[in-house]
Amino acid sequence: MITIVDYGMGNLGSILNMFKRIGAGARISANPLDLEGAEKILLPGVGAFDGAMERINSGGFREVLDRKALVERIPVLGICLGMQLLTRSSEEGRIAGLGWISAETRRFPQSSGLKFPHMGWNEVNPSRASPLTAGLASGARFYFVHSFYVRVDHEEDSILQAHYGVTFDAAVEHGNIFGAQFHPEKSHRFGMQLLSNFARL
């Protein structure tokens, strides 16, 4: 059973919908107490970094999330802003991130010609194999919407990369911590493959 954390930001209905379609057990929870019994956690997120961290810190989620992720080491998947929250900090905000992955979230360089946010379907390339990305065909593409990007400190934590002006990490993995910058719940069969893999971990 995957617990999707509802801290007030994110398109939870769509995520739950895709889990239902692929036949994976999932539920949404806005109550930190529910997280105690979680077997796997999905951390969604759409919006601003500081806003999200504030809600997580003050909503009673922080303590139990840290424990589940760092002590009990259950599988955690952060999606879109949720992946950026896994890093130690973001140029978008001033509050520190969860710091579960050794990485930083940076603003895309505003090079001429490119419009921001990075929005639309883009191709990803595997940096290395990972259970999260198993079965993804070459030329797999996902739907992205973001103005900030993640770059991991250690190359081995990167599992998928994409390019938009700069090359950035589209998906990351460090032990039990996973992240996807794109929206798997809005990426057709590619997203279904990824979420199936997460469900089967």
Which residues form the interface with other proteins (CB under 8 A)?
A: 11-14, 17-18, 21, 23, 46-48, 115, 117-123, 141, 143, 145, 163-164, 183, 185-189, 191-192
- Neighbour tally for 20: CB within 10 Å: 11
CB of 153 to other proteins, least distance (A): 26
CA distance readout (Å), 101 to 18, 49, 58, 96, 119: 26, 16, 21, 12, 25
CB of 16 to other proteins, least distance (A): 9
| Closer by beta carbon to other proteins, 92 or else 104 | 92
Distance CA 96, CA 34 (A): 25
CB of 199 to other proteins, least distance (A): 16
Residues 6+ apart with CB under 8 A from 39: 1, 2, 3, 74
CB of 186 to other proteins, least distance (A): 5
The answer to whether residue 185 is catalytic is yes
Of the candidates 118, 146, 174, 183, the residue annotated as catalytic is 183
| Closer by beta carbon to other proteins, 112 or else 129 | 112
Of the candidates 54, 63, 80, 156, the residue annotated as catalytic is 80
Cβ atoms of residues 166 and 195 within 8 Å = no
**Beta-bridge partner residues of 167:** 163
Structure tokens at 172: 């990351």
CA distance readout (Å), 74 to 31, 53, 145, 178: 18, 21, 27, 11
The answer to whether residue 80 is catalytic is yes
| Closer by beta carbon to other proteins, 143 or else 178 | 143
| Closer by beta carbon to other proteins, 55 or else 141 | 141
The closest alpha carbon to 170, from 141, 137, 200, belongs to 141
The answer to whether residue 183 is catalytic is yes
Catalytic residues, which ones? 80, 183, 185
